[in-house]
Amino acid sequence: MIRVRGHEGERIAVLGLGRSGLSAAKALRAGGALPLCWDDGASGRAAAEAEGLDLLDPTAPGALEGVAAMIVSPGIPHLYPAPHPAVLAALKSGVPLDNDIGLFFRSWAEEGWESFDLPPKVIAVTGSNGKSTTSALIAHILREAGRDVQLAGNIGVGVLDCAPAVNGSIAVLELSSYQTDLARALTPDIAVFINLSPDHLDRHGGMGGYFAAKRRLFAEGGPDRAVVGVDEAEGLYLAGQLAEGPGDDRVIRISAAGKLDGPGWTVHARKGFLSERRKSRQVSSADLRELPGLPGAHNHQNVCAAWAAVRSLGLSPSVIKGALATFTGLPHRSQPVGEAGGIRFVNDSKATNVDAASRALQAFDKVRWICGGLMKEGGLDLLHPHLDRVAKAYVIGREAEAFALALGPGVTSEVCTTMAQAVARAAEEAEPGETVLLAPAAASFDQYDNFEKRGEDFASEVARALAG
């Protein structure tokens, strides 16, 4: 655990007692603060009491008197669509807001830092799609290279549950827009922006607010190195803002959509081949076509981001290539879960938005597509250019009929509603060479607690179908 610094002897409100909130409360206490905890759910409050933590309802009259700050968990809105009542009480009382990410960056450098031969580093990864895979891949490459690595944030452990920094250690953090939006300190050594597509728009008041939340990772502290995906206008704009000129190699531009050239430092992937270029010359390359844990162009974008991040730490191409070959991928992200009779079954339950689902579809030639759930803002129009790969869609979820209609007349679809029926029908109709792909393009909460449960149900039904 990292002891939070800068709040010694202060009363600190902690709102939301899930993984990050409870971790923050304990780390505050370890650093000498007095955390005062609250959660709207009785189970969260009970968990805090079981840890010996004090409870305080921030909305009670006078509750925030003498409180120095409020630490807000990522799932709690602080501005859009409306501030949580406890957040609003803090704002009206002039109590500053922060989160566990801000506490981490203020506390990561403990005593003895100046005595290290090799200063510890923080690599922070954000973007709309591929954050988890990119973060896990960076950590995997570094471990294969013999480095001391911790993976935290939206993946692995909570950031304050990391062990304190030691000589040469590296923390790889996956950070969502919910986390970057509120953190009062954001000072990674290397910051990675993979891509941007519409998501969480209600929470950020639209695309501008969503991009602004991501941009804070680069603007607040100024990383030593910025890895920026430039396949969307926002990435191009961000790279242009950060660079002092075309040859500024503090900004590494990455792309999976086309060749990058020029005097700066770039990494791009085309037709399954990665090319790293500096000063308009190729300095290294890699064949990505047969990597079992990283299929498709969307994963090649993740590889470009990871390659750039670890190259900026001085790792050699040969070490990186060896590590890429042993990376097995993550559950629920282009995860193979079965194969029989020339038919593959792939779990991409993490494809909870349209952009992620379109990237998943592009990774395979002919697809029996299991999709549906709670549709997000913006509809399904962005999927239409990639639906020629779909032999048939099998639609699940409470909104299955509306989802099937939104796919348009060009797609043969069947309303299945349940995962069991969708897998059974897809397995029955699939032909050799086809892929049965779960890539829902929607949230899971109409039928499941989270996307992991949805992916596990898919894998279970695939196992049942193959056994039968």
Annotated binding site: 127-133
Annotated binding site for ATP: 127-133
User: Taking the mean position of all CA atoms in its chain, how far away is CA 12?
Assistant: 28
Q: How far is CA 69 from CA 148, 365, 369, in A?
A: 33, 53, 48
Q: Kindly state the tokens that stand for 419.
A: 């995962």
Backbone angles phi, psi at 69, to 5 degrees: -165, 160
How would you write the chain as a 3-class SS string? CCCCCCCCCCEEEEECCCHHHHHHHHHHHHCCCEEEEECCCHHHHHHHHHCCCEECCCCCCCCCCCEEEEEECCCCCCCCCCCCHHHHHHHHHCCCEECHHHHHHHHCCCCCHHHCCCCCEEEEEECCCCHHHHHHHHHHHHHHCCCCEEEEECCCECHHHCCCCCCCCEEEEECCHHHHHHCCCCCCCEEEECCCCCCCHHHHCCHHHHHHHHHHHHHCCCCCEEEEECCCHHHHHHHHHHCCCCCCCCEEEEECCCCCCCCCEEEEEECCEEEEEECCEEEEEEECCCCCCCCCHHHHHHHHHHHHHHHCCCCCHHHHHHHHHHCCCCCCCCEEEEEECCEEEEECCCCCCHHHHHHHHHCCCCEEEEECCECCCCCCHHHHHHHHHEEEEEEECCCHHHHHHHCCCCCCEEEEECHHHHHHHHHHHCCCCCEEEECCCCECCCCCCCHHHHHHHHHHHHHHHHHC
Q: Kindly state the tokens that stand for 135.
A: 């973060």
Sign of CA dihedral 27, 28, 29, 31: positive
- Alpha-carbon span 23 to 48, nearest angstrom: 10
Cα pseudo-dihedral 300, 304, 307, 310, rounded to 10 = -130
